Amino acid sequence: MKKFFTVLLLGIAILTFTFSHSALAADAASGAKVFSANCAACHAGGKNLVQAEKSLKKEALDKYGMYSKDAIIAQVTNGKNAMPAFKGRLKTEQIEDVATYVLEQAEQGWK
């Protein structure tokens, strides 16, 4: 019986890690499309055309306390300074996908 539970838990763990990775990839792919349509005008290639020092590069995100999914979601949702709020324009899921995409790109150096 103990062996059964061990195998069962191992199977659950494998399925969880297998499917959660593909879900993240789908979020980033969706986020790329949303980013392209709504954000790239000011943030193409991770840059910031309004305030150059506040780019979407990993170093700048970290420096300004924005290197987390929650911080990016709050910024995109509510806007701040020159950045408009997208709360009424994008669905919550789309904003979460954009945050995933931005973090992924920042990690990869916006290639």
Q: Per the domain annotation, does 7 fall within a domain?
A: no
**Domain count of the fold of the chain:** 1
Query: Which stretches of the chain score pLDDT less than 50?
Result: 20-22
Q: Is 42 annotated as a binding residue?
A: yes
pLDDT at 111: 82
How would you class 105 by CB atoms within 10 Å of its CB: exposed for 0-12, middle for 13-18, buried for 19 or more?
A: buried
What domain range includes position 76?
24-108
pTM for this one? 0.77
Q: Per the domain annotation, does 38 fall within a domain?
A: yes
Q: Is 21 annotated as a binding residue?
A: no
CATH number of the domain enclosing 77: 1.10.760.10
Q: Is 43 annotated as a binding residue?
A: yes
Q: Is 39 annotated as a binding residue?
A: yes
As a whole number of Å, the end-to-end CA separation of the chain is 51
Q: What is the pLDDT of residues 36-63, one digit of tens each?
A: 999 999 999 999 999 999 999 999 999 9
